[in-house]
């Protein structure tokens, strides 16, 4: 591999990037286990894609806010290391594809020159903090949630409590009771509220989508703003300690909350507070940068097609609470746009808006702080860019994940069927171009990256087998979901599975039925009134597979016969000593704990030392063929199987020694003492392992 250097001034960021380069080299040379390498690179935004030998890189955009300069930087990076294409995700990130693994450290270093990071965009970490794209401009909001989303992003980035959890953790902020941040489907969701003049949030916990969607529970009707970060840290500690680690299918927060129950979960949260650095964490919202709208005016052109302009204004222009300004929504087809479009867009918002954009949860772009009288100019400019289509956030604006285009987990094409459905809507149901009450979403598999389980009309990529054992691409049709506001939502029912090529007819049947019988009801209300069986019978003729045509065995957007397959897309690894790797990682945690201690970061030092205990204990249990799962389970099993042989002096048990971190404030004295305990234990574990190997060799 080529040597790597970085000129990043921040030493923490620079070391992180250099560490990625070093681990890539070690992996290529067979010195790092494949699973461990996967965990490391995912936590740095590098994700193996369906095509062998290349990576998808996910760029973390906190609450979707991008400056014009940051967008230009991302465009430059995509041109240099990828293919000049950008993809907006349903978590307000940007993805680029077909990146060479060896290029990822240099790519990351270039992004960081404009404060853009890959860190924790993937992996078992705190993922991107999302928020309502209208935060700060919404006339209905009690206050701007952007400073709080930014504070959460900054506090938990590289925070040891969120680095190696059993699964990912997703958090959102909603600007108002409309809950456009979709709090009810997040691990942790905040909805802005006022109690008198005190700012705070309704807090929801334990939501999620996927194969088993779960509605979040209300943890607090009102939590003061200075409690947001302490609460989230306490929740993460509980999740890290008690969350499932063996079965990925059961490792999300929603399953832990379901198993513990809300009241027991509250008790676990309260038990964490003595160990937190902050019992209160004030967030200075007044210090958050205020947008500076442009003052130089463009020449206002005449509009030839006034009807099209009016249609665009009706769906794409959003009033702001700031007088004289509005926001423009850009309908970005399936979240995909080019670097050329990005640069021209950046220049436009720098010169005639406030120099920033917001990426939306529906894979679109919002331009805030546009003067209302300048709308004709923006309309024509956006049309020239190919981003001036009407129908922003309407039924005609379908959300879809990349599916089988690039994703390892894709089962059937989501982008192909979305393209066809948008064509059907435009040509046969033009009235839906202005209908924002019906939401259509598509995912290529059960994991619901396209959020199909919370849509009014959802489609999930599947496969279907015919009586003669042939396999065809299929769609699960889901109906009746929706966001009710205030932290409440309805998940869609699985109605029926049909061959994928019949998806357009299914949409026609659903919309024709709604047009004839809906009587103006919101779609989820209409669905609820009719019931699942009604729609099953409506669509049942489309489900038969006795006489499929040859075209039914070719997925949307493909010319090849369909094969249900999961792409490889991951680099090959070699078999190494997992026990030795765990002990090595325990040593790395001790180093990180020592560095944090030297910097006066007592809580971080304690948590790194805690992780060192866990890794060393897991190493010895693994060596003894004793299955490991949760952190709490590792400590319990260590006491049961090895506690008598490897007792920490002065403690009744290993669990008691490790968990004393819960009873002490993280001050300098305790952090130093706890690090010494962890260091002594790791040395003890290494000696025990060496003696065991020597004994086995002697045999």
d(CA 387, CA 86): 14
- The answer to whether residue 564 sits within a structural domain is no
d(CA 695, CA 3): 42
Question: Do 332 and 431 belong to one domain?
Answer: no
Query: pLDDT for 193-243, tens place per residue?
Result: 999 999 999 999 999 998 899 999 999 999 999 999 999 999 999 999 999
**Mean of pLDDT over the chain:** 92
Q: How many domains does the chain have?
A: 5
286, pLDDT greater than 90: yes
Question: Do 107 and 74 belong to one domain?
Answer: yes
Closest CA to 497 of 450, 544, 533: 544
Phi and psi torsions of 366, nearest 5°: -120, 130
What per-residue confidence (pLDDT) applies to 576?
43
The residues, ordered by sequence, that sit 6+ positions from 131 with a Cβ below 8 Å of its Cβ are 63, 64, 92, 145, 146, 149, 172, 173, 174, 175, 181
- The answer to whether residue 342 sits within a structural domain is yes
Question: Do 98 and 155 belong to one domain?
Answer: no
- The answer to whether residue 287 sits within a structural domain is no
User: What's the mean pLDDT in 143-167?
Assistant: 96
User: What's the mean pLDDT in 44-67?
Assistant: 92
Pull the structure tokens for residue 590.
């001790």
CB 133 within 8 A of CB 360: yes
Question: Do 650 and 678 belong to one domain?
Answer: yes
Residue appearing with tokens 């938990």: 156
Query: pLDDT for 619-639, tens place per residue?
Result: 999 999 898 999 999 999 999
Pull the structure tokens for residue 232.
């989230």
Closest CA to 596 of 653, 652, 523, 672: 672
Under DSSP, the state recorded for 583 is H
Query: pLDDT for 413-428, tens place per residue?
Result: 999 999 999 999 999 9
650, pLDDT greater than 90: no
Query: pLDDT for 236-285, tens place per residue?
Result: 999 999 999 888 888 999 999 999 999 999 999 999 999 998 999 999 99
Question: Do 314 and 376 belong to one domain?
Answer: yes
Confidence of residue 9 (pLDDT cuts 50, 70, 90): confident
What per-residue confidence (pLDDT) applies to 568?
38
Continuous segment of H or E residues that includes residue 497: strand 493-499
186, pLDDT greater than 90: yes
Under DSSP, the state recorded for 600 is T
- The answer to whether residue 292 sits within a structural domain is no
Q: How many helices (H) and strands (E) does the chain have?
A: 20, 22
Question: Do 269 and 145 belong to one domain?
Answer: yes
Q: What is the CATH number of the domain that holds 379?
A: 3.90.480.10
DSSP string, 380-428: HHHHHHT---S-TTSTTS-EE--GGGT-TT--S-SHHHHHHHHHHHHHH
34, pLDDT greater than 60: yes
Confidence of residue 565 (pLDDT cuts 50, 70, 90): low
Question: Do 424 and 547 belong to one domain?
Answer: yes
The domain boundary, picked from 385, 418, 434, lies at: 385
Instruction: Provide the 3-class DSSP secondary structure of residue 459.
Output: strand
Closest CA to 501 of 577, 421, 576, 445: 421
- The answer to whether residue 569 sits within a structural domain is no
Question: Do 368 and 416 belong to one domain?
Answer: no
Closest CA to 239 of 137, 165, 130, 320: 165
- Residues of the domain holding 358: 306-385
What per-residue confidence (pLDDT) applies to 4?
54
The domain boundary, picked from 363, 385, 407, lies at: 385
Q: What is the CATH number of the domain that holds 537?
A: 3.30.413.10
Q: What is the CATH number of the domain that holds 631?
A: 1.20.120.330
61, pLDDT greater than 70: yes
578, pLDDT greater than 90: no
571, pLDDT greater than 50: no
- The answer to whether residue 362 sits within a structural domain is yes
d(CA 23, CA 25): 5
Which phi-psi region, left, alpha or beta, contains residue 64 (left: φ > 0; alpha: ψ -120 to 50)? left
CB 327 within 8 A of CB 335: no
Q: What percent of the chain has pLDDT over 90?
A: 80
What per-residue confidence (pLDDT) applies to 573?
28
Q: Which of 299-313, 330-344, 388-402, 552-566 has the lowest mean pLDDT?
A: 552-566
Question: Do 410 and 472 belong to one domain?
Answer: yes
What per-residue confidence (pLDDT) applies to 179?
97
Pull the structure tokens for residue 325.
């300004």
- The answer to whether residue 293 sits within a structural domain is no
Under DSSP, the state recorded for 214 is B
d(CA 445, CA 458): 12
Question: Do 108 and 15 belong to one domain?
Answer: yes
Closest CA to 671 of 660, 684, 656: 660
Query: pLDDT for 522-531, tens place per residue?
Result: 999 999 999 9
- Measured between alpha carbons, how far is residue 569 from residues 25, 49, 51, 97, 559 in Å? 18, 5, 5, 12, 22
Which phi-psi region, left, alpha or beta, contains residue 231 (left: φ > 0; alpha: ψ -120 to 50)? alpha
Question: Do 442 and 497 belong to one domain?
Answer: yes
Q: What is the CATH number of the domain that holds 17?
A: 3.90.480.20
The domain boundary, picked from 56, 82, 112, lies at: 112
Residue 694: count other Cβ atoms within 10 Å of its Cβ.
Answer: 10
Confidence of residue 35 (pLDDT cuts 50, 70, 90): confident
How far apart are the two ends of the chain, measured CA to CA in Å? Answer: 42
Question: Do 663 and 530 belong to one domain?
Answer: no
7, pLDDT greater than 90: no
- The answer to whether residue 81 sits within a structural domain is yes
Phi and psi torsions of 369, nearest 5°: 60, 55
Dihedral sign for Cα atoms in the order 612, 617, 618, 620: positive
145, pLDDT greater than 80: yes
């Amino acid at each position: 591999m080529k040597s790597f250097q970085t000129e990043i001034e921040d030493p923490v960021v620079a070391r992180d990037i250099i560490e990625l380069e070093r681990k890539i080299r070690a992996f290529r040379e067979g010195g790092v286990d494949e699973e461990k390498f996967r965990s490391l690179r995912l936590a740095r935004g590098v994700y193996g894609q369906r095509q062998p030998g290349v990576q998808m890189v996910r760029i973390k955009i906190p609450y979707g806010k991008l400056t014009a300069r940051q967008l230009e930087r991302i465009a430059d990076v995509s041109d240099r290391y990828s293919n000049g294409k950008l993809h907006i995700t349903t978590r307000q990130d940007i993805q680029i594809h077909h990146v060479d693994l060896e290029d990822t450290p240099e790519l990351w270093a270039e992004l960081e020159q404009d404060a853009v990071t890959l860190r924790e965009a993937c992996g078992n970490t705190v993922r991107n903090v999302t928020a309502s794209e209208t935060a700060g401009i919404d006339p209905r909001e009690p206050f701007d949630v952007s400073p709080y989303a930014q504070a959460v992003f900054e506090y938990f980035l590289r925070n040891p409590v969120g680095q190696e959890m059993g699964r990912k953790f997703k958090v959102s902020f909603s600007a108002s009771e409309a809950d456009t941040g979709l709090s009810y489907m997040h691990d942790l969701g905040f909805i802005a509220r006022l109690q008198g003049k005190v700012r705070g949030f309704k807090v929801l916990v334990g939501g999620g989508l996927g194969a088993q969607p779960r509605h979040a529970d209300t943890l607090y009707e009102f939590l003061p703003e200075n409690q947001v970060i302490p609460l989230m840290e306490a929740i993460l500690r509980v999740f890290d300690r008690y969350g499932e680690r063996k079965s990925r299918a059961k490792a999300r927060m929603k399953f832990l909350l379901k198993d513990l129950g809300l009241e027991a979960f509250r008790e676990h949260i309260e038990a964490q507070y003595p160990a937190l650095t902050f019992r209160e964490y004030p967030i200075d919202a007044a210090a958050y940068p205020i947008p500076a709208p442009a003052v130089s005016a463009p020449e206002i052109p005449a509009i030839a097609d006034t009807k099209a302009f009016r249609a665009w204004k009706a769906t794409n222009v959003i009033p702001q609470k700031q007088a004289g300004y509005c926001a423009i929504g850009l309908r970005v087809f399936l979240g995909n746009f080019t670097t050329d479009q990005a640069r021209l867009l950046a220049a436009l918002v720098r010169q005639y808006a406030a120099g920033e954009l917001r990426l939306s949860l529906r894979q679109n772009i919002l331009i805030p702080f546009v003067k209302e009288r300048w709308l004709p100019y923006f309309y024509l400019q956006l049309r020239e860019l190919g981003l001036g289509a009407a129908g922003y956030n309407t039924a005609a604006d379908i959300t879809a994940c990349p599916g089988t285009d690039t994703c390892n987990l894709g089962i059937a094409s989501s982008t192909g069927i979305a393209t066809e459905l948008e064509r059907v809507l435009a040509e046969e149901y033009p009235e839906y171009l202005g209908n924002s009450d019906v939401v259509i979403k598509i995912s290529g598999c059960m994991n619901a990256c396209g959020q199909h389980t919370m849509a009014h009309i959802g489609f999930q990529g599947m496969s279907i087998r015919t009586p003669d054992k042939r396999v065809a691409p299929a769609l699960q049709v889901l109906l009746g979901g929706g966001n009710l506001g205030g932290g409440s939502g309805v998940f869609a029912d699985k109605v029926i599975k049909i061959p994928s090529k019949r998806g357009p007819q299914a949409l026609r049947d659903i919309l024709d039925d709604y047009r004839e019988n809906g009587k103006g009801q919101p779609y989820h209300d209409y669905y609820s009134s009719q019931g699942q069986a009604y729609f099953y019978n409506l669509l049942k003729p489309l489900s038969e597979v006795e006489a499929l045509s040859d075209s039914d065995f070719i997925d949307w957007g493909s010319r090849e016969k369909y094969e249900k397959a999961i792409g490889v897309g991951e680099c090959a690894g070699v078999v190494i000593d997992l026990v030795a790797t765990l002990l090595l990682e325990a040593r790395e945690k001790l180093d990180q704990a020592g560095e944090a201690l030297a910097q006066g970061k007592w809580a971080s030092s304690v948590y790194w030392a805690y992780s060192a205990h866990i890794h060393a204990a897991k190493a010895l249990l693994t060596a003894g063929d004793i299955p490991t799962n949760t952190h709490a389970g590792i400590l319990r099993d260590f006491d049961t199987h090895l506690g008598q042989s490897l007792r920490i002096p002065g403690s009744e048990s290993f669990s008691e020694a490790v968990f004393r971190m819960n009873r002490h404030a993280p001050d300098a004295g305790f952090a130093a003492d706890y690090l010494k305990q962890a260091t002594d234990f790791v040395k003890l574990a290494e000696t025990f392992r060496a003696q065991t190997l020597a004994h086995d060799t002697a045999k």
